[in-house]
Amino acid sequence: MLTFLILASLLAAAALALVALEVVRPPERVVNALFVVFSLLVVLLAAWTFALLLGAGSEEGARFGNRVDAAIEILNRRPVDSGGRSVTVPKVPDFLAVYGSDLDRLGHEEGADSPNTGPLLAEMDRQLGRLVRATEDAGIREVTTFLLTSDHGMTTWSRPATEGLAAIARAGYRPEVVLPDRSPSADTEVVVVLNSVRVADVTLLGRAATPKGRERVRAALEDTPHVAQVLDRSDLEELRASDKLGDFVVEAEEPYGFALEAPEGGASRGAHASTRETRVPLVLSRAGVRPGVTPRNPKLVDVAPTVAALLGTRPPNEAQGRALTEVLVDRRGR
C-alpha cells in the first residue's frame, strides 16, 4: 500500500533549496516562491478511495488551519462538513487535496513584500506540521508520499501603466483599452484587454492584422514605457498558453500594472500571470521517493503524471507532462 500526500504549506524555504519548478521559462529571478508556496494543494493517498477537500466557502472555513482540521478528521474517519452535510469517509482516502489560499489572498491585498507574510507563513507551517503528525497518528506516515508545490508566484504593483499603451496610435492604428466583459468599437484596430494586472492581452483587427501591421504594433508595444517584454503567438505556443489569447501578451515592469488606476490610497497590491511569476517550489518526500535526488527540469504539468506513477496507474489522457521517474523508487524498491 502506498499513501500519497501533496503539501502546500510549510517548507517554503526548504522548497527553494531543493528545486525550483518552472511553469514556463525561467524568469530573471525567483519571485516570491517562498511567498506562494502555500497557494496550491496538499494531497494524501492511502488505500484506493478518492477524496478532494477544498474547504468551506466562508472566509473562516477557507483558512488553512480549518482545512487542516477537516483533513485530520478525514484521516481519523470522523465526520466533516461537506456543503452543509455531515459526511464520514469510510476509510483513509487514496487522495486528499487540501487547498491553502491564505498567502495568496494576503499577497493580492497587501503585495508580495507585506510584513504580514512572515507571520502568516509561520502559522501555515505550524498547521502543516499538524497534518504531517496526523499521518503518523493514523499509522500511515511510512507509506505516505509528501509532495509540496504551488501554482504561481506574486509580484507587487502600485502604479498603472495602461496610459502608455496609447503609444500604439503612433504606429498608425486605432487602439482601444477594454475590460474583459466589454466589446471594442467597430473601428478599433488594436484591442488591449486588461484581463490581468501583470499582463495585457492584445488582439489585432483590420489593417493591424497583417504582417506589416503586426510588426509595427509589436515595435510600438516594445517602445511603450514600463513594458518588460512582448510575447507573440509563437512565444505563447511554446509556453502552452491558451489559444484564446490574442496576437500579443504584454508584461509590465515592476511595480507597474495594467490597470485603469492605481490602488486606492497609494497602497501596494500583488498580482501574477506573467512569466516573472512562473517559477515555484517543488518538494517530494517519503514513501516512493529516492532521497537526495533532484528531478531534471520539472514543470507543473509533470505533477499529475508523477502522482499517477506513485499510484501505479496511468496518467490522465490529456496530461502534457511526464512522470519524474528519476526521483521515484521503482517497483522493486530501487
**CATH of segment(s) 3-155+274-327:** 3.40.720.10
> b/e map of 206-230 (b: 16 or more CB within 10 Å)?
eebeeeebbebbbebbeebebbbbb
Cis peptide before 225 (omega within 30 of 0): no
What local confidence, expressed as pLDDT, does residue 266 receive? 92
Q: Is the pTM of this model over 0.85?
A: no
Query: Would you list the domain boundaries of the chain?
Result: 3-155+274-327, 159-262
Angle, helices 117-137 vs 102-110, to 10°: value is 170
Confidence grade of residue 43 (pLDDT, cut at 50, 70, 90): very low
- Cross-strand pairs, 176: 191
Written as one string, the DSSP assignment of 44-83 is: ---TT-EEEE---SSTTTTSHHHHHHHHHHHHTT--EEET
CA distance 68 to 63: 9
The topology under which CATH files domain 159-262 is: Gyrase A; domain 2 (3.30.1360)
Give the model confidence (pLDDT) of 209-257 as tens digits. 999 999 999 999 999 999 999 999 999 999 989 999 999 999 999 999 9
